[in-house]
Homo-oligomer: A and B are copies of this chain.
Amino acid sequence: MPSRTVEDYLKHLYLLEKGGQTPASQVAMGGLAAAVGVTAGTATSMVKSLSDSDLVDYEPRAGVRLTRAGTKLALQVLRRHRLIELFLVQTLGLDWSEVHEEAEELEHAISDKVLEKIDTLLGHPDTDPHGDPIPPSTGSPKQEKLTPLNDCAPNTTAKVARVRDQEPEFLQFVDKHGLTPGAQFTVESHTPSADAITVRPHDREPVTLGSAAAGKIMVKVGR
């Protein structure tokens, strides 16, 4: 069974590959080291050993990429993480801003048996509280095409689909203004020169966001 450390490296590698837009290119060592929270030297030696286990392809000084086996393992970890997050919110009533931290620990401790009980209890959900897709037990998650809130024109009506940040402070802000996944809203104004976009969630006061914040909110236009 892969160690907790291996699981963490693979998970972050997967997120970096997907985060880096479509060509799912090689990941730089520096980025991986920062994501996992170790020094560059540590990441190098760990990646070498992952490469020996055929979980990644590694080209020194070029970068690292998950193999098929590595991707499969990473998706299992991610599935655990995201199901646990949803479970903590829905069943135990934790706040969505704190469940990411909790799940970081539990994702390495939970058995398949317990995980599938949770999946059943929750009704086989396909997204977690942040709107991130929950990978199925085999295969890859299906990615919907989403638009960053940044790119919405005034008067657009849309629905929040995903919030791509795990900072509790940001998540609490989002929650307070009614922009959690599922929320519908209308874009009131968008002035790129002022780096600002104002949206009005249905049933809430309008709120103005800078582009850094708006870029983290992915929406589905329409309805």
Contacts and interface: CB of A to CB of B under 8 A. Distances in A.
B117 A102 contact: no
Contact of A91 (B91, B109, B113): B91
A108 B121 CA distance: 24
A195 to B, nearest CB: 37
A98 interface: yes
Nearest to A104: B109
A78 interface: no
A212 interface: no
A1 to B, nearest CB: 11
A110 interface: yes
Contacts of A94: 113-114, 117
Interface range for A: 10 to 19
Interface in A103-124: 105-106, 108-111, 113-114, 117-118, 121
A117 B92 contact: yes
A88 interface: yes
Chain B CB within 10 Å, residue with most, of A93, A109, A117: A109
Contact of A102 (B91, B106, B111): B111
Nearest to A118: B92
Contact of A111 (B105, B110, B113): B105
Contact of A121 (B92, B110, B113): B92
Given A108-B109, A109-B108, A114 B93 contact: no
B102 A114 contact: yes
Contacts of A91: 91, 121
Contacts of A102: 111, 113-114
Interface in A76-107: 88, 91-94, 98, 102, 105-106
The 6 tightest CB contacts between A and B, nearest first, are A109-B109, A92-B117, A105-B109, A106-B109, A102-B111, A102-B114
